[in-house]
Structure 1
Amino acid sequence: MTRLGTTIRSTGIASEGTWFKSSYSSQDGGNCVEIAAQADGVGVRDTKSTDGPAVFVSGAAFTSFIQSLSA
């Protein structure tokens, strides 16, 4: 079963203890996302909707996205 490029419930990607948000994020719950690194990719979800939908992408796609932010 592949999850890449799909939108699924965040609980289908990783357990609660494996999601984290950047240390650059504010602690007041603003516009933040959390990620969960897995062996086959990275899950991304909205911090305010932890039981809602999440996107799962390959590690390479996530790395490319992060690199594009600092370009």
Structure 2
Amino acid sequence: MSTTELAWFKSSYSGSSGDDCVEVAVTEQAIHVRDSKDVTRPAFAVGREGWGQFVRFASER
């Protein structure tokens, strides 16, 4: 599946002023992340387990 076919949504932590925005798309295999200000740049994907570890780590900070 190409990244243009994914259902992207903006992070709830992104500001409403249009800067520092992150978009996420969830698939069965991975979590995809991209910069919403420049969607032509490559997105990156991480497996669900790795994403869960990242979220737990970030939540502790």
Q: TM-score, normalised by structure 2?
A: 0.80
Question: Residue 13 of structure 1 corresponds to which residue in structure 2?
Answer: 3
**Structure with greater proportional strand content:** 1
Q: How is 1:37-52 mapped onto 2 (pairs within 5 angstroms)? A: 37-52=26-41
RMSD over aligned Cα atoms: 1.8
Is 1:62 matched with 2:51?
A: yes
Give the unaligned 5+ runs of structure 1.
Answer: 1-10
- Identity fraction in percent: 35
**Structure 1: distance between partners of 2:47 and 2:16:** 28
Give the unaligned 5+ runs of structure 2.
Answer: none
Contact conserved, 1:25 with 1:32, CA < 8 A, in 2? Answer: yes
**Structure 2: distance between partners of 1:13 and 1:56:** 10
Go from structure 1 to structure 2 and tell me whether the alpha carbon gap of 1:66 and 1:14 turns closer, same or farther (over 3 Å shift). farther
Q: Structure 1, residues 22-47: CA drift from partner, whole Å, max 9, x if none?
A: 22321222112111000101100011
Higher relative contact order (CA 8 A, sep 6+): 1
